[in-house]
Structure 1
């Protein structure tokens, strides 16, 4: 979930360190949800992991759209072929995402043979459809790969976005993104009305078009320069005055056990609006104490390795619970709050190893497939 960043002519391309800080908070939210016991009030009282994944979606939409808009400018100036951009974009995505993803799948299949009958879905990034069609697979031994549904959603979004940004008339991009944003809650409501569960709706990529495209919309408006500035300000106001109430309504509704089928329709949009506002502030550099927190080197590093951390954190939990704790005869430690920092440190260590050994070397190869 780490993306190249740069900034040129208003597009998102330069490195913005505070976005790595936000990325680290997103992954820590996921770790809290997966490492604490389900009945722990700290976990059950707040949707940490749900929010973390939505923050990843908005960040991805923001950064990927910015990169593609910069590429579109080069295409319009006849500096590079649009087909070369498409080719190099997908090669770079493959170099970034495939190595540790498929390595993780190989390890899971090798260690847990019962997952082999489902592996084809994961090879082609179709696990979200598998989990929607067969919800029971989400909670069985294959749950070691259940968190990969979010990667499938992002991968499927990447199949769509480059074609829109590179080939659509430029004046159509913002309306198209707005249409996709507005269509997402309508789709969620329609699917629920037809009897699909919240879980099934959540697995569908179009259900997340609002969070994915809100980040893209912010990037497109920022790239418009002065003409887009009034719309950016309006988007920021909407993020505060509409996004926050929608998100709070979802969180409070969870506390009182309100019908999740209704709240989930608007909660995704609320989260997207709030995170768009937050990302805009972080992209410009938040000042004061919040900014100093986001600028911490440790958080920046965790953001850098967040993709590997996301992929491997479930396996770290499983190995600890099934092998290490029982092997050292300390299974009596059942307080997940005590184990949370242990799991987290171990997961960061694993992610750091794979970053140095696999991810960083593969990232260097991207220089052969330039988008400039």
Structure 2
């Protein structure tokens, strides 16, 4: 069902400059990008196992990672009695996302009819990050995976407001409970909203036997919009809230990494059995996927496991290139579709290395030309901020 071409991978923020890289987070980033790339490859004539059709869950894993990393960097400042520097936060997020994102957008504009997905929707939707709120996939799916960046950008705008509303009373009272209650309320509200949208937009097409129209309505009304996709980000924020405001709970949680990892994989396996297009899927699928990803994240963060202590070979490289891979891999696939014969694409053992290596090369080029200079600029800005004697922690 979820083979619709607008399924992307979201851009997860990098670990803060002053913290060492967490091997478990890098592993999950690598897992997310590989999963989504395989999922997209399934629609390019490459024969892959059946489980790959559920690779859209990789984007939810990235949402959970984003919510946790952003939430931890901000909420720990509040927990310590400080005030986050929101101007610095928004500038940092802009420097992290916009240069590479707009560089690839320019490429899509220049490619014309050579771009993947055919027509490009009006530029204002991409520039203002409103693509997921006003999509028109019937008339153009080029650069459609930008919808997940829209969700993350909206989160960056809304999260400071939520923290500001809670922080005043949070310092003196139970901030963790407030954050958790707000997150749970939004998740429950999202479930009810998706249920209503399903009944209104999707059910009539299913009743009429028009599955294609039902899928289109599902993607536009339930899958893409920010208001329907906050579950993963909020589960990540809730984990960060526990770590920031209930460190004893956090310590006890990380003592059971194997149970957390097993629970995460079990929940995600069960999610594969839920019909995303049905009423139950509309209500509970996204929260359950987010819960499974949150369990994986908590388990991967524990130093009690090898993956939480030590980098696995090649993982760090994939994690560093994840954002560039996300931005470029669909266009690379489209080019390879023209260059590779159908016989090769039908042989996954031969086609996979070609698609993977060319995608990695394109991502490395974008990373070296755009991402790495931007990351160095952010490091210099952090050093200057520290030199001024700032007393509050810098957001991620």
Please give the range of the TM-score, normalised by the shorter of the 2 chains. 0.7 to 0.9
So what's the TM-score if we normalise by structure 2?
Answer: 0.77
CA contact (8 A) 1:238 1:273 kept: no
Match of 1:349 in 2: 361
Give me the whole-angstrom Cα distance separating, in 1, the residues matched to 2:304 and 2:366: 31
Q: Give 1:248 deviation, angstroms.
A: 3.6
Larger CA deviation: 60-69 vs 202-211: 202-211
Q: Which runs of 4+ in 1 moved over 6 A?
A: 38-41, 235-245
- Superposed CA offset, 1:69-122 (max 9, x none): 133346x34xxx65xx11111111111101110011111011116745521101
Match of 1:129 in 2: 133
Number of residue pairs aligned between Structure 1 and Structure 2? 346
* Unmatched runs of 5 consecutive residues or more in structure 2: 1-10, 203-216, 386-392
Q: Give 1:297 deviation, angstroms.
A: 3.4
Match of 1:267 in 2: 285
Higher helix share: 1
So what's the TM-score if we normalise by structure 1?
Answer: 0.82
CA contact (8 A) 2:65 2:236 kept: yes
Correspondence 1:150 to 2:148: yes
Say what the alpha-carbon RMSD is for the aligned residues.
3.2
Change (3 A) 1:22 1:183: same
Q: Give 1:271 deviation, angstroms.
A: 1.2
Give 1:1-372 correspondences, 5 Å limit: 1-5=11-15, 14-37=20-43, 42=48, 44-73=50-79, 76-77=81-82, 82=84, 85-112=85-112, 115=119, 118-131=122-135, 134-137=136-139, 142-169=140-167, 170=170, 171=175, 172-196=178-202, 197-200=217-220, 201-226=222-247, 228-229=249-250, 247-253=268-274, 259-285=277-303, 287-288=305-306, 295-322=311-338, 324-325=339-340, 330-335=341-346, 337=348, 338-366=350-378, 367-368=380-381, 370=385, 371-372=393-394
CA contact (8 A) 2:64 2:234 kept: yes
- Superposed CA offset, 1:210-262 (max 9, x none): 211001101101112345449958x99997898766644431245xxx85343
Give me the whole-angstrom Cα distance separating, in 2, the residues matched to 1:281 and 1:99: 33
* Unmatched runs of 5 consecutive residues or more in structure 1: none
Change (3 A) 1:343 1:67: same
Give me the whole-angstrom Cα distance separating, in 2, the residues matched to 1:238 and 1:222: 19
